[in-house]
């Protein structure tokens, strides 16, 4: 990576009600694991709030960034992909969806690296016109993709990756052990989106990519909490190459 500066990776933050010290207010939140993973990969992490200005002016944000990470979080509003709400779809924030869709589309237009993690993978698919399964137990008959709420304990399962795919390159293998925590998933693929990873539990799509893009990958699992994973490091390396080529 160049000595003059590290690549700057924007990480989309959630808008949630939170408590800290004496306060109980709405806050912009992001698990420290995302920041640690980006910094550990040799890049600078910059949080992006989901506000109306970002939605209308995504270029203003991306002008200062070398890559975009769409992080995990609450369910995507089904109105974003034209469907009615399932009773298990909760805690949606349409303003976050709109801002991140705008950012994702602008990042793809600029051809800078994009990594979607869990919700971020789903958002990337929705941004390209795809849809989601709103509650997996209804479709696959089990809850093994989210075994313990708020925990990655006993959350490991394998994902089979397509040979020669970006997902396989990012993971460095064709059978990748993952840490999972989700109850929704990609259903119909968006325009230009291809599946490149499938759960060995039930064949669920767990990796997507856009072959026409320079580097655009979505993973349904959480590489940021897995010290064995090289996904974030590979992504940050691509961001560094973007910087070098500027």
Active site residues: 118, 222, 224
For residue 44, the number of C-alpha atoms closer than 13 Å in the C-beta half-sphere is 12
Beta bridge partners, 158, equal 177
Phi, psi torsion values for 142, nearest 5 degrees: -155, 165
DSSP per residue over 180-200, as a string? Answer: ---S-EE-S--TT-EEEEEET
Cα torsion through 246, 208, 100, 239, rounded to 10:
-20
Closest CA to 111 of 68, 50, 164: 68
3-class SS at 81?
A: helix
**Spatial distance between the Cα atoms of 112 and 158, rounded to a whole number of angstroms:** 29
d(CA 146, CA 14): 20
Upper half-sphere CA count for residue 15 (Cβ side, 13 Å) = 15
| Residue 103: alpha-carbon gap to chain centroid | 12
């Amino acid at each position: 990576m160049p000595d003059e500066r590290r690549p700057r990776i924007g990480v989309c933050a959630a808008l949630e009600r939170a408590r800290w010290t004496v306060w109980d207010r709405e806050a912009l939140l992001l698990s420290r694991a995302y920041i640690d993973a980006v910094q550990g990969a040799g890049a600078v992490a910059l949080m992006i709030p989901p506000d109306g200005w970002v939605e209308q002016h995504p270029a203003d944000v991306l002008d200062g960034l070398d890559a975009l990470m769409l992080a995990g979080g609450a369910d995507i509003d089904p109105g974003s992909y034209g469907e009615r709400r399932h009773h298990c779809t909760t805690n949606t924030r349409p303003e976050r969806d709109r801002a991140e869709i705008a950012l994702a589309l602008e990042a793809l237009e600029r051809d800078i690296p994009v990594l979607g993690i869990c919700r971020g993978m789903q958002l990337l698919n929705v941004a390209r016109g795809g849809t989601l399964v709103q509650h997996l137990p209804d479709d696959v008959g089990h809850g093994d993709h989210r075994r313990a709420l708020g925990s990655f304990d006993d959350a490991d399962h394998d994902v089979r990756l397509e040979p020669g795919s970006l997902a396989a390159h990012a993971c460095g293998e064709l059978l990748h052990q993952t840490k999972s925590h989700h109850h929704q998933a990609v259903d119909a693929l968006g325009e230009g989106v291809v599946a490149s990873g499938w759960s060995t539990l039930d064949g669920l799509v767990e990796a997507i990519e856009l072959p026409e893009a320079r580097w655009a990958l979505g993973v349904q699992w959480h590489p940021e909490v897995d010290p064995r994973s090289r996904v974030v490091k590979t992504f940050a390396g691509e961001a560094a190459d973007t910087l070098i080529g500027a």
